[in-house]
Amino acid sequence: MDSIKGKFHITNFLPCLVSSRRSDVLMMTPWFAPIVWDGTYNIDILNAHFQQRNVCIGLTVFAIKKYTVFVQTFIETAEKYFMVGHKVNYYVFTDRVTDIPIMELAEGRQMRVLRVPAYQRWQDVSMRRMEMLRDYSYQQFRGEVDYLVCVDVDMRFSDEVGVEILSDLFGTLHPGMCGAKREHYTYERNPQSEAYIPFDEGDFYYAGGYFGGNIEEIYKLTNFCHNAMMADKDKNIEAIWHDESYLNKYFLYHKPTKVLSPEYLWDNGFGIPKFLKRQRFVAVPKNHNEIRN
Ligand X SMILES: CC(=O)N[C@H]1[C@@H](OP(=O)(O)OP(=O)(O)OC[C@H]2O[C@@H](n3ccc(=O)[nH]c3=O)[C@H](O)[C@@H]2O)O[C@H](CO)[C@H](O)[C@@H]1O
- Interface residues toward ligand X, by CB under 6 A: 62-65, 67, 122, 125-126, 152-154, 207-209, 241-244, 265, 292
244 binding Mn ion? (CB under 5 A): no
* Distance from C-alpha of 250 to C-alpha of 243, rounded to nearest angstrom: 11
For Mn ion, the closer CB: 66 or 142: 66
Q: Is 258 helix (H, G, I), strand (E, B) or coil?
A: strand
Q: Is 166 helix (H, G, I), strand (E, B) or coil?
A: coil
Residue 155 · residue 282 · CB < 8 Å = yes
Q: Give me the least distance between CB of 284 and Mn ion, in Å please.
A: 8
Q: Identify the residue among 154, 217, 243, 244 touching Mn ion (CB under 5 A).
A: 154
Q: Identify the residue among 38, 152, 203, 217 touching Mn ion (CB under 5 A).
A: 152
Find the residue with minimal CB distance to ligand X. 208
Size of the site for Mn ion (CB under 5 A): 2
Beta strand residue intervals within the chain, DSSP E:
35-36, 56-63, 87-94, 109-115, 147-151, 155-157, 169-173, 206-214, 258-260, 281-283
Give the contact letters, 245-284, x = binds to Mn ion (CB under 5 A), - = no: ----------------------------------------
Q: Give me the least distance between CB of 16 and ligand X, in Å please.
A: 35
Which residue from 94, 69, 64 is spatially nearest to 284, judged by alpha carbons?
69
Residue 63 binding result from Mn ion, ligand X, none, given CB thresholds of 5 to 8 Å by partner type: ligand X
For Mn ion, the closer CB: 100 or 284: 284
- Say which of 164, 194, 238, 244 is annotated catalytic: 244
* Distance from C-alpha of 228 to C-alpha of 242, rounded to nearest angstrom: 11
Find the residue with minimal CB distance to Mn ion. 152
* Distance from C-alpha of 279 to C-alpha of 265, rounded to nearest angstrom: 7
For Mn ion, the closer CB: 84 or 153: 153
Q: Parallel, antiparallel, or unpaired: how do β-strands 206-214 and 281-283 relate?
A: unpaired
* Distance from C-alpha of 152 to C-alpha of 218, rounded to nearest angstrom: 16
Residue type present at position 178:
C
* Whether 107 is catalytic: no
Q: Give me the least distance between CB of 92 and Mn ion, in Å please.
A: 15
Residues that bind Mn ion (CB under 5 A): 152, 154
Residues labelled as active-site residues: 244
